[in-house]
Amino acid sequence: MKIVVIQGPNLNMLGVREQHVYGPMKLEQIHGQMKDFAEQNGVEIEFFQSNLEGEIVDKVQECYGDANGIIINPAAYTHTSIAIRDAISAVSLPTIEVHISNIHRREEFRKTNMIAPVCSSSVVGFGPFGYHLAMIGMLQMMNEIKAAEEAQKQAPQA
């Protein structure tokens, strides 16, 4: 099983940018913890960060046929990007959206979310721990998909 983690613009600045909102952890530290958890659970994991919308679209598309699930924080593109939304829809993989901050209790413009409606679920406002919660959620989702496929195989054919 392979999970791809996609990080949007300015998340490479974590640990520097607005620490009162996003905390002191750097992206490499968050990824380090996710990697450890993935290894403990026998899951392959790949990390990708870009400040460019088209590169994020390309990465989501590359997940088709390569990954079993996507964990994505589209950052500011959450509020604007129909292109990233369409890419997530197109690949039709289990996708969990993460936001470090609680976007619902911030500025009005952050309440517009183009991405959430095409994701399986969202983790919002837990700080960097949200990525860990997303990993747990993704493993649970994968187990449920596997169990459903097994049940389907065993069901008598009509």
Residues noted as catalytic: 22, 99
**By C-beta, is 2 or 106 nearer to ligand DQA?**
106
Supply 133's token pair. Answer: 């919660």
What are the CA-CA distances from residue 16 to residues 13, 20, 72, 81, 126 (Å)?
A: 6, 10, 21, 25, 18
CA–CA separation, 99 and 128 (whole Å): 9
Task: Check residue 156 and report its DSSP letter.
Answer: P
Helix (H, G, I), strand (E, B) or coil at 147: helix
- Interface contacts to ligand DQA, rule CB under 6 A: 10, 73, 75-76, 78, 99-101, 103, 110
Residue 123 Cβ, how far from ligand DQA at the closest point, in Å? 10
**By C-beta, is 55 or 142 nearer to ligand DQA?**
55
Residue 1 Cβ, how far from ligand DQA at the closest point, in Å? 25
Tell me the pairing of strands 44-49 and 121-124: unpaired
**By C-beta, is 14 or 68 nearer to ligand DQA?**
14
Residue 24 Cβ, how far from ligand DQA at the closest point, in Å? 15
Residue 148 Cβ, how far from ligand DQA at the closest point, in Å? 31
CA–CA separation, 113 and 97 (whole Å): 11
- The partner residues of 5 in beta bridges, in order of sequence, read 47, 71
**By C-beta, is 50 or 73 nearer to ligand DQA?**
73
